[in-house]
Amino acid sequence: MNCMELRRSLLVNPRLRDREQQMHARECAACHAFAMELEGLESMIEDAVRVPVPEALAERVILRQRTQRSGRRVLFALAASLALAIGVGMHVYRGVDTIDEQPIAATSLGYQNPAVAAISYVLEHEPQLLRTNQSGDPAVMRDALLRLGMTLPEDRVKVRYLGKCPVPGGTGEHLVLATPSGHVTLILVPDRSLGTRVVVDFRGRTAVSSPIRSGSYIVVADSLQTVKKLEQM
């Protein structure tokens, strides 16, 4: 094996070294240095690709698979609630008078309340998510929405961010929407009830947490008026 052959093989895989390669590297100082250099580079690449993994990822995968196995009910609920939450949310509450409802103070609900916690999450994490998220490409967003079975009134609403966020007892689908009234956060929790409808003012934002069919949704905006505009869209 000559120097060129050794270097070629090291560039393909620095970790893979047979006896012939090792022998050459021992006898040739330049190739030895080259091999050491590539090994150092390889360690740096390995460190870089081992990114932190979300906690309990495997458990969430297994849970979802088991839930789906029990029927398509959850998937249907997801698609239905996503569409309803955005499109016709208010129809679910025909029997509930929400016209005159007034926000209540966060202190009376506690900071663990889903609506209050959602406001905190939006204020603390959303600016960063909007800055760093790379799935903001409209084409990618459309694909993601299609995968979720969602339809948006695209003439009035644009998705600026789509991801996941923590909600009590699990994760929710987190969307930041650009609407004619400004940015609105919509958090969808398809398979869990977050309790009865709550409207809360906290840290200059208004949030509504509301049950919908088999799950719940939370809307966070700068005012109750903006929240309701989205609900009625």
Partner 1 sequence: MLFAGKQAEFDGVVRAFSVELYRYAYGLCRDRFVAEDLVQDTFTRAWRAWDKLEDDKAARAWLYTILRNEHARLFERKRLDHDEDQDLDEIPDLSSGANPLPGLEVRDAIRALPEGYREPLLLQVLGGFSCAEIANVMRISEGAVMTRLTRARIAFRQLPGWERQMRKKSS
Q: Write out the residues near partner 1 by the rule CB under 8 A.
A: 8, 11-14, 37-38, 40-51, 53-54, 57-58, 60-62, 64-66, 68-69, 133-135, 137, 139-140, 143-144, 147, 162-164
Give the helix/strand (H/E) hosting 77: helix 73-87
Q: What is the DSSP string of 117-155?
A: HHHHHHHHHHHHHHHH-S---HHHHHHHHHHTT----TT
**DSSP 8-state class, residue 161:** E
The C-alpha atoms of residue 79 and residue 81 are separated, in whole angstroms, by: 6
Q: How far is the CB of 160 from partner 1 (least distance, A)?
A: 14
Name the minimum Å distance from CB 63 to partner 1: 10
Residue 162 CB, shortest distance to partner 1, in Å, is: 8
Dist. CA 104–CA 31, nearest whole Å: 72
Task: Kindly state the smallest distance separating residue 153's Cβ from partner 1, in Å.
Answer: 22
What distance in Å separates the CA atoms of residue 232 and residue 135, rounded to the nearest whole number?
A: 27
**Pick from 69, 85, 47: nearest CA to 214:** 85
Q: How far is the CB of 113 from partner 1 (least distance, A)?
A: 24
What tokens were used for 202? 């906290």
- Nearer of residues 108 and 134 to partner 1, judged by Cβ: 134
- Nearer Cβ to partner 1 (30/44): 44
Q: Give the nearer residue to partner 1 in terms of CB position, either 75 or 92.
A: 75
Q: What angle do CA 138, 139, 143 make, to 5 degrees?
A: 115
28 or 38: CB nearest partner 1: 38
Q: Which is nearer to partner 1, 65 or 112 (CB)?
A: 65
DSSP label at residue 148: T
